Structure 1
Amino acid sequence: MIRTIVLFSSAALIIINAHGDQLELGPQNSSESCLLEGLKQADPQQTLGELRESCLEIEPTLFKQRVELEKQASKNRFAIIPHRPNFVLPASLTSINQEPYIDTPVGDKLDDVEIKFQVSLKYLFMQDLIFRDLDLQFAFTTTSWWQAYNSGISAPFRETNYEPEVILNYHHSWSLLGFPVEQTTLSFNHQSNGQTGQLSRSWNRIILGFAFAPTDNVLWGFRTWYRLPENEKKTALDPSGDDNPDIQKYMGYGELGGLWSISDKHSLEFMLRNNLRSSDNRGAIQLGWSFPINDRIQGYVEYFNGYGESLIYYNHHAHRLGIGFKLTNWL
């Protein structure tokens, strides 16, 4: 039967049962958390060895491993951790639509080859906010399209999208219509391109998201959003008011994503978005492949086809193929 002595030290938790078996736990992983929870609820006749064996059968999903790593890193109150993937695509080829830039300094001189990169970070502000496994996070993502090879117009940043978020993240597993939900998020999301006048684009959303992990190496994600309304512009160049009142006709009301982690370094991902209109149907698809280069950096190939790759092109169809490096991945 389980009769335990529990000893705490600065670096470990030591459990000794009646048979003299000793188990030392360092920073908790999922199996160790299972063991500690099991000690509270175990049958009196169950041995520590039996309990440990049952917990070792529970293999944490890749998503749970990511959550655990984030929590370990966030024990340092100065830690800022990755949010979405961080990547650089030095070779990014598209067919630039010059229309939004007419009557601007760059005019029709934009190149089809540019650099695309993304920096995405978050800060775990508070754990177990109201109840266990509910965290409050702040995140910031910036994605840029840089005309780095276009010396004729002084290599400007053609477009940069800024996306700050406040996120309530509930990462306790539960079931939705029989599907295993690994994470539930509710966030306030602002996205803009930091421009003024005819190039200005922005919107504010409340986003509800679910992450499903049907198997250990496959993750599905679904997000749906409600756009917060804005006042209409009085004139086209009015600095206040809605810059893009028809954005949901192109961006829709949600998106579906998936990630297949083939191995430690190989993964395939997709994003699918559609406005679900029978007439004037609009949508987008993005595909990604990550592959190993060395222990720290992955190669990354990304393909996009549709509307809304960037805010300036929310209502323009674009297709892009890029290859480069991914510094951090989804998992």
Structure 2
Amino acid sequence: MIKRILLISFALSSYSIYAQEADDLLFSQDRQNQGLDQRWELTPETRGRTFTISPYKPVYILPFRYVNKPNELPASLSEPNVSTEHKDYDNLEIKFQISFKTKVVQGLFFGKGDLWVAFTQTANWQAYNGDLSRPFRELNYEPELLFNYPLNLSWNRLKFKMIGFGFNHQSNGQSLPESRSWNRFTMHLGMEYDRWTFFVRPWLRLREKANADDNPQITEYVGKGEFNAVYANWGHVFTLNFRTNFRFNEHHKGYTEFTWSYPIKNHLKAFLAISNGYGDSMIDYNWNQTNIGIGISLMEWL
């Protein structure tokens, strides 16, 4: 199955390379030069209006996603959140993500800070599993409130572009025993170095009552922060996302995801995603698995 997926990915990428027109390449070059200034409206030239929908996290669909070890009997470290009904999930499923943000207040603190509202939804769909009536295995909802402030600092060729903080809620909307949710206070720093863009985002989980915690010790599995590196060149966009619990010993846990995209036509891009670790979705917060998916994307981190 993995070999088939890799062969399909190679064929798709080969087609996109040879089918790419000159105007698409110029479009990709213009887009990669926009960077954080354009995405977050950091300069007077890029500043837009409030209540305008704009991209946030990647938007994609993976029609063919191989999961090496589906979580067929989810078990939280909280006793009421332990499933007792085994589900015979397929290894092959569909995954998609939509994500957007809108600025609700601008010009805070010396006329530069902005307040944003963002929303991301991710779906894992057992679309090929006719025996289980093709259910959505997991749906995750992630609303956020973000404050962002532009920076004009540099160290050699490394430019510090923005800094901020936010409040984040993430849940799967399920009832017991498969309910999973948590709240976080997040911080973020955005930087650029030539064709590279870097995001650093640590977080602190907001404490919950012990008897109301759906997923105890989630930060020991999912991590206490993440690091994103994005490289864009001639239409190619490579990203590496790394989450860690900052225990760099035998107790280290986290999540690593690599993605690659290449334009097919304008905003439509071939998309490959490979990941390993804990917390691919909320129901899998303490479940380690490897995933390989191919499909298309409409929006990247940049």
Q: TM-score, normalised by structure 1?
A: 0.74
1:243 match: secondary structure: coil
Matched length? 261
**Residue in structure 2 matched with residue 91 of structure 1 by the alignment:** 64
* Equivalent residue number for residue 305 of structure 1: 276
Q: What's the % identity of the aligned pairs?
A: 38
Distance 1:79 1:322, change over 3 A: same
Residue in structure 2 matched with residue 282 of structure 1 by the alignment: 253
* 1:41-76: CA deviation from partner (whole Å, max 9, x where unpaired): xxxxxxxxxxxxxxxxxxx7622233349986943x
The alignment partner of 1:280 has SS state of: coil
Counterpart residue number, 2:209: 231
* Corresponding letter in the other structure for 1:220: F
Conserved 8 A contact 1:73-1:79? no
- Choose from 166, 170, 187 the match for 1:191: 170
Distance 2:104 2:129 in 1: 41
Secondary structure of the 2:216 match is coil
Match of 1:272 among 223, 242, 263: 242
Q: How far off its partner does 1:98 sit?
A: 1.2
Once residues 285 and 183 of structure 1 are traced to their aligned partners in structure 2, the CA distance between those partners, rounded to angstroms, is: 24
- From 157, 181, 197, the counterpart of 2:160: 181
Higher relative contact order, chain-length normalized (CA < 8 Å, sep 6+)? 2
Structure with the greater alpha carbon radius of gyration: 1
1:80 aligns to 2:58 (yes or no): no
SS of aligned partner of 1:222: strand
Return the offset for 1:262.
Answer: 1.3
Task: Summarize deviations over 1:71-101 as a string: whole Å, max 9, x none.
Answer: 86943x5531111111000011112121218
After superposition, the C-alpha distances for 1:232-257 in whole angstroms (9 at most, x for unaligned) are 11xxxxxxx11112111112211111
Matching residue's letter, 1:224: P
* SS of residue in 2 equivalent to 1:199: coil
After TM superposition, give the deviation of residue 185 of structure 1 in Å: 2.0
Question: Is the counterpart of residue 64 in structure 1 residue 43 in structure 2?
Answer: no
Cα separation, partners in 2 of 1:295 and 1:121, compared to 1, 3 Å: same
Give structure 2 stretches of 5+ with no counterpart. 1-32, 76-82
In 2, Cα distance between equivalents of 1:254 and 1:268: 20
- 2:84 aligns to what? 103
Structure 1 unaligned regions, length at least 5: 1-59, 234-240
Amino acid at match of 2:173: G
* 1:188-224 Cα shifts (integer Å, max 9, x gaps): 0001111111211111100001011022x21011110
Judge conservation of contact 1:61–1:213 (CA < 8 Å) in 2.
no
